């Protein structure tokens, strides 16, 4: 049986110095789109081979504390027959699992989403624990637009996140709580800051109401950033300062760590923003990463579905993981991008 000490240890390990989380939990539909971009058929074997390439990258465990898996992936094995959960444990990375069933249209709230998956979640969590998972993830999405987000959307998603987190902790899993404020649209960084603060305040109020132990969770927020279609894009230092200000206003110090999502930022920009926050310093929580595309993209485009390309693809992943590992310590420099590490 998992104890409070076990949950606390896992949460701390997830945000360990110099490390972050690899989000490899793309649904079949999402990874099909990514495979299509490189001309690879989205078969179960190709999905397995791609994840196997990522997880067997030599030295990646030095920078990756945990990996979020999809249901299919948690049940798959490496080429040598080792279950992925066991393989990740062997390299020093904790296996995690995406447990929500996706963001769906929210009734009476046009253009807004509510994440589903609470039905049967306790039973699924029990099974995932038996399969080796140590933590879980649930993503809520908040859209900024004309008249959105609504209070109804923010409150409903906060409540669902809190219910999920409580169910996970009861099952012995550390929950990653992910309230993502999407960067889609032309909104300013001012508007993003306002919505992010409102979302986080509601999320932590809901977590408290559901008796979630803050010491046994990890927050995965979006950064405070200009909408991608905004004419004026905030610079790296402004994004870092505003993000930290918003988090200090809303996130209790009991939370062991904050693992940012990249949310559509370019690979290097996501790294630069994280680094700038850690260079500012003074945060009561560890500031790290939980990137998906921003870690995988160079590796995916190098791989192209060919076994012959595995070495170069693994070097690309190792390099991005190392750059972000440095960013967690405030030691990243753009010049290092020209010196890829050997995997």
239 near 276, Cβ under 8 Å? Answer: yes
pLDDT at 340 (0 to 100): 53
Query: Among 19, 113, 137, 220, which one carries the catalytic annotation?
Result: 220
The mean pLDDT of 164-187, rounded to a whole number, is 98
CATH number at residue 135: 3.20.20.70
d(CA 109, CA 112): 6
- Write out pLDDT tens, residues 268-299: 999 999 999 999 999 999 999 999 999 999 99
Q: Are 172 and 131 in contact (CB under 8 A)?
A: no
pLDDT tens digits for range 133-144: 999 999 999 999
Provide the residue count of the chain.
Answer: 343
C-beta separation of 145 from 190 below 8 A: no
Task: Quote the domain boundaries for residue 270.
Answer: 4-338
> Facing residues of 286 across strands?
257
- Residue 1's pLDDT is 74
The whole-number pLDDT of residue 343 equals 41
pLDDT at 166: 98
Say what the pLDDT of residue 94 is. 98
Could you tell me if residue 17 is inside a domain? yes
- Say how many domains are in the chain: 1
Give the integer Cα–Cα distance in Å for 33 and 40.
10
Q: Do the Cβ atoms of 148 and 192 come closer than 8 Å?
A: no
pLDDT tens profile 124-167? 999 999 999 999 999 999 999 999 999 999 999 999 999 999 99
pLDDT (tens digit per residue) in 239-250: 999 999 999 999
The contacts of residue 332 (CB under 8 Å, 6+ apart) are 271, 272, 274, 275, 323, 324, 326
Count Cβ atoms below 10 Å from residue 147 Cβ, excluding itself. 9
Please give the pLDDT value at position 128.
98
Q: Quote the percentage of the chain above a pLDDT of 90.
A: 97
Q: Which residues contact 208 (CB under 8 A, 6 or more apart)?
A: none
The answer as to whether 343 is a domain residue is: no
- How many CB atoms within 10 Å of residue 276? 21
Say whether 220 is catalytic. yes
In a domain, 296, yes or no: yes
Confirm whether 135 is domain-assigned. Answer: yes
Average pLDDT across the chain, whole number: 97
Task: Give the whole-number percent of the chain exceeding pLDDT 70.
Answer: 99
pLDDT for 2-46, tens place per residue?
Answer: 888 999 999 999 999 999 999 999 999 999 999 999 999 999 999
pLDDT in tens, 312-341: 999 999 999 999 999 999 999 999 998 755
Q: Is there a domain that residue 321 lies in?
A: yes
DSSP bridge partners of 288: 259
Position 85 in a domain: yes
Dist. CA 192–CA 143, nearest whole Å: 10
pTM metric for this prediction: 0.97
In angstroms and rounded to an integer, the radius of gyration of the C-alpha atoms of the chain is: 19
Is residue 178 part of the annotated active site? The answer reads yes
Of 308, 262, 310, residue with least CA distance to 50 = 310
Residue 207 has pLDDT above 50, yes or no: yes
Which tokens sit at 285?
Answer: 């929580």
Across 231-266, b (16+ Cβ under 10 Å) vs e yields eeebeeeebbbbbbebbeebbeeebbbbbbbbbebe
- What is the bridge-based pairing of β-strands 103-105 and 113-115? antiparallel
Catalytic-role residue among 112, 178, 180, 202: 178
């Amino acid at each position: 049986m998992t104890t409070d000490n076990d949950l606390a240890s896992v949460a701390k390990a997830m945000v360990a110095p110099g490390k972050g989380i690899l989000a490899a939990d793309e649904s079949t539909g999402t990874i099909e789109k990514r495979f299509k971009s490189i001309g690879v058929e989205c078969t179960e074997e190709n999905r397995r081979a791609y994840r196997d390439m990522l997880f067997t990258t030599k030295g990646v465990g030095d920078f990756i504390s945990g990996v979020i898996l999809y249901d299919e992936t948690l049940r798959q094995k490496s080429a040598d027959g080792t279950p992925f959960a066991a393989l990740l444990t062997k390299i020093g990375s904790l296996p995690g699992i995406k447990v929500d069933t996706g963001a769906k249209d929210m009734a009476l709230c046009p253009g807004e989403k509510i994440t589903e998956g609470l039905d049967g979640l306790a039973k699924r969590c029990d099974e995932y624990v038996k399969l080796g998972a140590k933590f879980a993830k649930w993503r809520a999405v908040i859209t900024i637009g004309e008249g959105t987000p609504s209070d109804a959307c923010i409150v409903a998603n906060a409540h669902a996140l809190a219910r999920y987190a409580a169910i996970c902790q009861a099952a012995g899993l550390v929950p990653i709580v992910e309230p993502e404020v999407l960067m889609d649209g032309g909104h300013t960084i001012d508007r993003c800051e306002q919505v992010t603060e409102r979302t986080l305040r509601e999320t932590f109020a809901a977590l408290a109401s559901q008796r979630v132990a803050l010491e046994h969770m990890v927050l995965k927020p979006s950064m405070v950033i200009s909408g991608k279609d905004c004419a004026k894009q905030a610079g790296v230092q402004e994004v870092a300062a505003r993000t930290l200000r918003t988090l200090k206003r809303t996130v209790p110090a009991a939370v062991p760590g904050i693992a940012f999502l990249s949310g559509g930022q370019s690979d290097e920009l996501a790294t630069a923003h994280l680094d700038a926050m850690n260079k500012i310093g003074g945060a009561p929580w560890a500031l790290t990463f939980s990137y998906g595309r921003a870690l995988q993209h160079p590796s995916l485009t190098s791989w192209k579905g060919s076994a012959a390309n595995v070495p170069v693809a693994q070097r690309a992943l190792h390099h991005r993981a190392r750059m972000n590992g440095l960013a967690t310590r405030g030691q990243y420099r753009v010049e290092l991008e020209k010196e890829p590490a050997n995997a």
